[in-house]
Amino acid sequence: MKKEVRVRFAPSPTGALHIGGVRTALYNYLLARQQGGTMILRIEDTDQTRFVPGAETYIIESLKWAGITIDEGVGVGGPHAPYRQSERKEIYAKYAKQLIEQGDAYYAFDTEEELEQMRERLKAAGAEQQQYNSITRMQMRNSLTLSAEEVNKLMQDGVPYVIRLKVPRKEEIRLNDLIRGWVMVHSSQIDDKVLMKSDGMPTYHLANVVDDYLMKISHVIRGEEWLPSAPFHVLVYKFLGWENEMPQFAHLPLLLKPTGDGKLSKRDADQMGFPIFPMNWSDPKTGELAKGYKESGYLPEALINFLALLGWNPGNDQELFSMDELIQAFSLERINKAGARFDIQKAQWFNQHYLRQQSNEALAKAFVEELQKHNQTCDVAKAEKIMLIMKERITFVKDAWENGKFFFYTPEQYDTAVASKKWNADAVKVISEYATALKSTEVFDATTAKATLENTCVQVGIGSGKIMQALRLALTGMGAGPDLMMIMEIIGKEESILRLQKAINTLTVS
């Protein structure tokens, strides 16, 4: 019988959610939705030293914005609550104790200095690896080398200790990764990782396995950085007697820097001028504000489409996917093995595409909001008209403001290159006649503005093509832009005439 699909996204609240984390969450979500399964959000806050206030809320909000909905977990609850690992301490302690009693784990009392000394000693001896493992553990201070009385004494005295897994000395550990196939590691290469820390909190390695088992997770979909420790996790499942219930693993390829080597980092993003976080994030420690995709003008559907295709493809030429289409088409088998370079240009292309698909009403609303940032007001009808003629030429809503300030301001300056080339006697003649003719128009819109212009040109005897650039210059101060007649309609009759006259008075004929 097929197991119910239950997947989890399990971030640490150590800061803002990285864009790579959004992709991991997305792949989990897509599988869950496609299989009619459950998407769980678990917060892995076992490292109290790295806890960042606000991070958890940020993660939840970001997923929400991206359209990744959570069925069970922090923020929504569910049958396996609590979903915050710091609230599950006793559970992990119980299983750690079980491992100790079975003889598969042991107490270790070594101090940080002692561990450091061990590593240095091994390094000096030319050992290939400096690990706490089946060989070196016999030289350390733990419940394997100490007598029961000594161990009891140390514990009664309150000497801090950790619990380590007793990794077998000679064993081939195999795991079948859904993306990479069989991965085999010899147990001699694995160290006796800490399961329980001296503060009573579990490490990732224990908490992860225990929770995935208890929460009946069917697929562990996580970043490739976990692949090296996955065999260790298999061992833990085995010792706990959960080998048959072990989830399937899928280790995702990493997101790489746009140029150079290494995985994508905040530094790279900052340097190249693109966001690394889904939404704005102000670091509570430094107070530094990092701009998010949302605030930079990216549409969630564009970001999702872009991210989905970074490491996965449908096997055909389709590139545009709605969330529903992604859910339909997704499969773990079609995830790539190699890391994917992050190319922001492609993300921009997706944004341009999805922006155009938006209704003028929706765009107008976003535009009005953008205008507020610049202390500019605009009625909806005007905003809609502006978006109508600007939407084909912009990537972000804010571009409409950047490239369309003339909708709100009479030009103060004129593009000198265009002026010297196109502002001539003929142009001045037509434009001044045009201004006069416009005054007597009763109805003023793009159609009548155009008809009036054609009329004027015929009367003056100069082709309209010869003076359009000059007219554009007079109206917008620029040499390029959207349809002029629509611009006139939007700014209105009075303003249009005023601008024509101003240009005539300001610009000198070359």
Binding residues among 74-113 for RNA as defined by CB under 7 A: 110-112
In angstroms, the Cα distances linking 121 to 5, 139, 191, 298, 481 are 48, 12, 17, 53, 71
Q: Select the residue interacting with RNA from 103, 228, 241, 284 (CB under 7 A).
A: 228
Binding mask 32-71 for RNA (x = CB under 7 A): ------------x-xx--x---------------------
Binding mask 373-402 for RNA (x = CB under 7 A): -------------------xx---------
- Which residue's CB is nearer to RNA, number 356 or number 380? 356
Minimum gap (Å) between residue 372 Cβ and RNA? 25
Task: Say which DSSP state 203 is in.
Answer: P
Q: Is 216 a residue of the active site? A: no
Q: Considering only the stretches 146-154, 341-349, 362-370, 493-501, report the one whose residues sit in contact with RNA under the rule CB under 7 A.
A: 341-349
CB 279 within 8 Å of CB 59? no
Q: Select the residue interacting with RNA from 26, 185, 303, 366 (CB under 7 A).
A: 185
Q: Select the residue interacting with RNA from 35, 62, 131, 496 (CB under 7 A).
A: 131
- Which residue's CB is nearer to RNA, number 271 or number 336? 336
Q: Max alpha carbon distance in the chain (Å)?
A: 112
Q: Considering only the stretches 29-37, 70-78, 221-229, 286-294, report the one whose residues sit in contact with RNA under the rule CB under 7 A.
A: 221-229
Q: What residue has token string 């006793």?
A: 90
Interaction between residue 405 and RNA (CB under 7 A)? no
Q: How far apart are the first and last CA of the chain?
A: 84
CB 343 within 8 Å of CB 259? no
Q: What residue has token string 């339909």?
A: 328
Omega within 30 of 0 (cis) for the link into 82: yes
Give residue 381's identity as a one-letter amino acid code.
Answer: A
Interaction between residue 266 and RNA (CB under 7 A)? no
Query: How many residues sit close enough to RNA to count as binding (CB under 7 A)?
Result: 81
- Which residue's CB is nearer to RNA, number 160 or number 492? 160
Q: Select the residue interacting with RNA from 15, 20, 37, 339 (CB under 7 A).
A: 339
Dihedral of the CA atoms 195, 198, 199, 200 (nearest 10)? 50
The β-bridge relationship of strands 219-223 and 248-252 is parallel
**Strand residue runs (E) in 364-465:** none
Interaction between residue 468 and RNA (CB under 7 A)? yes
Minimum gap (Å) between residue 199 Cβ and RNA? 6
Q: Select the residue interacting with RNA from 73, 253, 297, 411 (CB under 7 A).
A: 253
Q: Considering only the stretches 59-67, 377-385, 431-439, 461-469, report the one whose residues sit in contact with RNA under the rule CB under 7 A.
A: 461-469
- Which residue's CB is nearer to RNA, number 3 or number 178? 178
Interaction between residue 482 and RNA (CB under 7 A)? yes
- Which residue's CB is nearer to RNA, number 80 or number 263? 263
Minimum gap (Å) between residue 403 Cβ and RNA? 8
In angstroms, the Cα distances linking 242 to 17, 98, 209 are 31, 13, 10
Q: Facing residues of 282 across strands?
A: 289
> Residue 110: enclosing H or E segment and its boundaries?
none
Minimum gap (Å) between residue 227 Cβ and RNA? 5
Minimum gap (Å) between residue 313 Cβ and RNA? 4
**Residue 268 C-alpha from the chain's centroid:** 14
**Strand residue runs (E) in 33-189:** 38-41, 72-73, 105-108, 162-165, 172-177, 181-186
Q: Select the residue interacting with RNA from 214, 483, 494, 510 (CB under 7 A).
A: 483
Q: Active-site residue among 89, 266, 291, 405?
A: 266
Q: Considering only the stretches 143-151, 289-297, 428-436, 479-487, report the one whose residues sit in contact with RNA under the rule CB under 7 A.
A: 479-487
Q: Select the residue interacting with RNA from 5, 93, 183, 332 (CB under 7 A).
A: 183
Tell me how far apart the alpha carbons of residues 364 and 383 are, in angstroms, rounded to a whole number.
5
Q: Select the residue interacting with RNA from 145, 187, 198, 376 (CB under 7 A).
A: 198
Tell me how far apart the alpha carbons of residues 482 and 252 are, in angstroms, rounded to a whole number.
44
Tell me how far apart the alpha carbons of residues 507 and 469 are, in angstroms, rounded to a whole number.
14
Q: Of 485, 488, 482, 494, give the one whose Cα is nearest residue 464.
A: 485
Q: Of 39, 49, 48, give the one whose Cα is nearest residue 75.
A: 39
Q: Select the residue interacting with RNA from 28, 218, 351, 469 (CB under 7 A).
A: 469
In angstroms, the Cα distances linking 483 to 210, 242, 464 are 64, 68, 14
Interaction between residue 171 and RNA (CB under 7 A)? no
> Which positions are catalytic?
266
